[in-house]
Amino acid sequence: MEKHQLICIVCPMGCHLEVTKENSEYNVTGNKCPRGEKYGVKELTNPTRVVTTTVKIKDGLLNRLPVKTKEAIPKEKLFDCMKFIDSIEVKSPVCVGDIIAKDILGTGVDLVAARSM
Amino acid sequence: MLKYDIVVVGGGPAGLAAAIEAKKNGVDNILVIERDRELGGILQQCIHNGFGLHVFKEELTGPEYAEKFIVELKEMGIEYKLDTMVLEIGEERVISAINTEDGFMSIKAGAIILSMGCRERTRGAISIPGYRPAGVFTAGTAQRFVNMEGYMVGKKVVILGSGDIGLIMARRMTLEGAQVLAVAELMPFSGGLTRNIVQCLEDYDIPLYLSHTLMEIKGKDRVEGVVIAEVDKNRKPIKGTEKYYDCDTLLLSVGLIPENEISKNAGIKLDPITSGPIVNESMETSIEGVFACGNVVHVHDLVDFVTAESKRAGKNAARYIKKEIKCEGKIAKTEPGDGIRYIVPHMVRPENVDGTLDLSMRVDNVYKDMNMIVKLNGKEIKRMKKKHLAPGEMESVKIKKEDLVFKEDTVITVHLEKEEA
Ligand SMILES: Cc1cc2nc3c(=O)[nH]c(=O)nc-3n(C[C@H](O)[C@H](O)[C@H](O)COP(=O)(O)OP(=O)(O)OC[C@H]3O[C@@H](n4cnc5c(N)ncnc54)[C@H](O)[C@@H]3O)c2cc1C
Ligand code: SF4
């Protein structure tokens, strides 16, 4: 039996999880809600993260527009994604939720604006 | 002289939520004053996600969270002034403010809500000796440069202090291509949320050195390196443990202080532990009709808690305007017991409690398997099991109004007790 101590990062509660694996069956304890259970299993099988960063914006109030991946992307693609996002430049006006880039790096996940500007 | 029923000082999440709630409670004539070029406060630079899980049941970034409130405020037709600085709160709730359009203004307010947020402790506040080279930033300033203005602040970074903003900047700088060499923390525990240690440091293999401090900054014009050393139990550096880091940037994440210059000058009583005003159950300060909420009262780690507290302030400011707050009657004091550093609010007038009394507090150390016990004049009224407690994570307790049975000189205490195995 494998035992892993994890901290759930789904919400700021930061529950201390214990995930045990027995014959490819995962069992999660210590979670205060069902999302923690899902996270515990996923973190050991296919860890993903939401990327939040900025892109260049022209004619906006600020020089940078905050953006985020609509869903979490595989952790190992993080830096490739950053490199790709770095090449993007948008023009004001942009509305919160607007799609800035579709299906980034074949992850099936869109990049969206995190504020209007 | 301008006249408003309620004037809100500061247009961050606290001020926005308070203004909206006051309007929802029947006050129309409200003005929000913000010194920055836009509303939203510090949230506009916090582009990471994790905001709003309690309030909106979804995970938002700072700007998204702010925008929801800004849109609501505008839709409700609440007035606001940007680029406007409140200078002073005088007698009879007359506010002095200034901007480049209207010039100097005197504004008479029926009630005032203070929501100026907090500021970061700087290099001066922690007395780092030596030259003043370029490359030393507070983590929040660096956050603003990188996330809003679009300037990168350095390539090889050391972070002093493990508050949330420092942790988040460790990740942010790494994603932007910088190398974060180390995070050094004076205390034997981190001041940040555990989830941030996991997703900002561990994810990127950034080492966290607990019980470590900064000894020296090398370089005269630009930071060239820093020396970090381990400290003993008394937080004194241990000789021979010094380590040199070759870096061009030092970020300080050494704590936030509620922004209370205006409050102090107005004669509002402050709590020496929180550095914020002493408040009662209605979030009213020691001056009648002046309310306070958000980070100006005590530093919150989650904006959701700021919103909840600010709604209470807004609602009660509206009740004050409508003369619905009862001022006479019994008053209880809250007192932190073993393991608790402070409790907000400091005073409770049970007549004004609305359903439940919400107490917010912080513990003074990291604890495991404890009972958190609330007592009213020594008699237990509530007990909660806590698996994990840390100073970086604010605790809150709800007490039902029925449980608040009051006599004169009532004291409400909260303390921690080891859970018997
Ligand atoms: C650098 C930094 C990063 C943070 N990161 C996070 C995070 O990632 N997640 C999180 O949950 N919380 C974070 N916090 C905590 C965050 O501050 C609170 O969650 C929340 O933003 C507090 O809201 P507030 O309205 O009380 O304060 P603020 O957001 O600070 O708003 C206060 C507003 O008052 C204005 N103001 C101050 N004085 C005056 C004056 N005299 N006249 C007019 N206007 C004035 C300021 O310009 C500001 O807009 C961070 C705090 C800081 C300082
Ligand atoms: S288990 Fe649920 S409550 Fe606990 S941290 Fe994860 S999401 Fe939050």
Task: Note whether B35 and B86 are within 8 A (CB).
Answer: yes
Same domain, A30 and A76: no
> Looking at chain B, which residues constitute the CATH 2.60.40 domain(s)?
330-421
CATH number of the CATH domain containing A89: 3.10.530.10
How many Cα neighbours within 13 Å face the side chain of B324? 14
Ligand 1 pocket mutation, candidates B43, B301, B310, criterion most atoms within 8 A of CB: B43
> Looking at chain B, which residues constitute the CATH 3.50.50.60 domain(s)?
1-119+255-325, 122-254
Q: Is B279 helix (H, G, I), strand (E, B) or coil?
A: coil
Residue A79 with chain B: CB contacts under 8 Å: 175
Residue B204: Cβ-neighbour burial (10 angstroms; 0-12, 13-18, 19+): middle
What total of structural domains would you count in chain A? Answer: 2
Residue B129: Cβ-neighbour burial (10 angstroms; 0-12, 13-18, 19+): exposed
Q: Is B112 helix (H, G, I), strand (E, B) or coil?
A: strand
The type of residue at A38 is K
Q: Is B318 helix (H, G, I), strand (E, B) or coil?
A: helix
Same domain, A85 and A104: yes
* Ligand with an atom nearest the CA of residue B306: 1
Parallel/antiparallel/unpaired status of strands B2-9 and B103-114: parallel
Same domain, A57 and A107: yes
**Per-residue pLDDT at B421:** 60
Q: Do A53 and B47 touch (CB under 8 A)?
A: yes
Q: Do A64 and B63 touch (CB under 8 A)?
A: no
Three-state SS annotation for chain A: CEEEEEECCCCCCCCEEEEEEECCEEEEECCCCHHHHHHHHHHHHCCEECCEEEEEEECCCCCEEEEEECCCEEHHHHHHHHHHHHCCEEECCCCCCCEEECCHHHCCCCEEECCCC
Q: Does domain B330-421 have CATH number 3.30.200?
A: no
Q: Is B97 helix (H, G, I), strand (E, B) or coil?
A: strand
Q: Is B267 helix (H, G, I), strand (E, B) or coil?
A: coil
CATH number for the B122-254 domain, one of 3.50.50.60, 1.20.120.1730, 3.40.50.300, 3.30.450.20?
A: 3.50.50.60
More confident site: A91 or B54? A91
What are the start-end ranges of the H helices in B145-251?
A: 164-175, 194-196
Q: Do A14 and B193 touch (CB under 8 A)?
A: yes
Parallel/antiparallel/unpaired status of strands B2-9 and B30-33: parallel
Residue A8 with chain B: CB contacts under 8 Å: 195
Q: Do A11 and B50 touch (CB under 8 A)?
A: yes
Return d(Cα B97, Cα B105) in angstroms, integer. Answer: 5
Structure tokens belonging to residue A60: 């906006």
Return d(Cα A97, Cα B369) in angstroms, integer. Answer: 42
Same domain, A59 and A104: yes
| CA-based nearest residue to A69, from A90, A55, A89 | A55
- The closest CB to that of A7, out of B66, B177, B194, belongs to B194
Residue B288: Cβ-neighbour burial (10 angstroms; 0-12, 13-18, 19+): exposed
Residue B224: Cβ-neighbour burial (10 angstroms; 0-12, 13-18, 19+): middle
More confident site: A12 or B152? B152
Whether A9 lines ligand 2, by a CB cut-off of 6 Å, is no
Residue B149 with chain A: CB contacts under 8 Å: 62-64
Give B419's DSSP letter.
Answer: P
Same domain, A38 and A70: no
Whether A8 lines ligand 2, by a CB cut-off of 6 Å, is yes
How many Cα neighbours within 13 Å face the side chain of B342? 20
Whether A16 lines ligand 2, by a CB cut-off of 6 Å, is no
Which residues does B contribute to its contact with A (CB < 8 Å)?
Answer: 37-38, 44, 47-50, 53, 59, 61-64, 66-67, 146-150, 175-177, 193-195, 197-199, 203, 301-302, 387-388, 393
Whether B252 lines ligand 1, by a CB cut-off of 6 Å, is no
Whether B60 lines ligand 1, by a CB cut-off of 6 Å, is no
Per-residue pLDDT in tens (0 to 9) along chain B, 421 residues: 899 999 999 999 999 999 999 999 999 999 999 999 999 999 999 999 988 887 888 889 999 999 999 999 999 999 999 999 999 999 999 999 999 999 999 999 999 999 999 999 988 777 887 788 999 999 999 999 999 999 999 999 999 999 889 999 999 999 999 999 999 999 998 888 888 999 999 999 999 999 999 999 999 999 999 999 999 999 999 999 999 999 999 999 998 999 999 999 999 999 999 999 999 999 999 999 999 999 999 999 889 999 999 999 999 999 999 999 988 778 899 999 999 999 999 999 988 998 899 999 999 998 989 999 999 999 999 999 998 888 888 999 999 988 888 777 889 999 999 877 6
Task: Note whether A56 and B178 are within 8 A (CB).
Answer: no
Domain that holds residue A40: 2-46
Residues 6+ apart with CB under 8 A from B5: B27, B28, B29, B30, B109, B110, B111, B321
pLDDT digits (tens, 9 = 90+) for A15-31: 889 999 888 889 999 99
Interface predicted TM-score (ipTM) of this complex, two decimals: 0.91
Q: Packing angle between helix A78-86 and helix B164-175, nearest 10 degrees?
A: 70
Same domain, A56 and A105: yes
| CA-based nearest residue to B171, from B149, B133, B136, B143 | B143
Q: Do B49 and A115 touch (CB under 8 A)?
A: no
Q: What is the CA radius of gyration of chain B?
A: 22
What are the start-end ranges of the H helices in B80-138?
A: none
| CA-based nearest residue to B73, from B40, B122, B106, B107 | B40
Q: Is B8 helix (H, G, I), strand (E, B) or coil?
A: strand
Return d(Cα B254, Cα B212) in angstroms, integer. Answer: 13
SS3 content of chain B, % helix, strand, coil (to 5): 25, 35, 40
Alpha-carbon distance values, B97 to A70, B30, B109, B114, B134 (Å): 41, 15, 12, 14, 34
Q: Which of A27-36, A89-98, B351-360 has the highest mean pLDDT?
A: A89-98
CATH number of B1-119+255-325: 3.50.50.60
Alpha-carbon distance values, B319 to B78, B110, B284, B312, B382 (Å): 18, 11, 11, 10, 29
Same domain, A77 and A109: yes
**Per-residue pLDDT at B31:** 98
| CA B123 to chain CA mean position, Å | 19
Q: A23 C-alpha to center of ligand 2: Å?
A: 25
Return d(Cα B59, Cα B64) in angstroms, integer. Answer: 10
Alpha-carbon distance values, A51 to A46, A66, B26, B140, B249 (Å): 16, 11, 41, 20, 24
Residue B295: Cβ-neighbour burial (10 angstroms; 0-12, 13-18, 19+): buried
Residue A54 with chain B: CB contacts under 8 Å: 47, 146-147, 150
End-to-end CA distance of chain A, in Å? 52
Q: Is A106 left (phi over 0), alpha (psi -120 to 50) or beta?
A: left
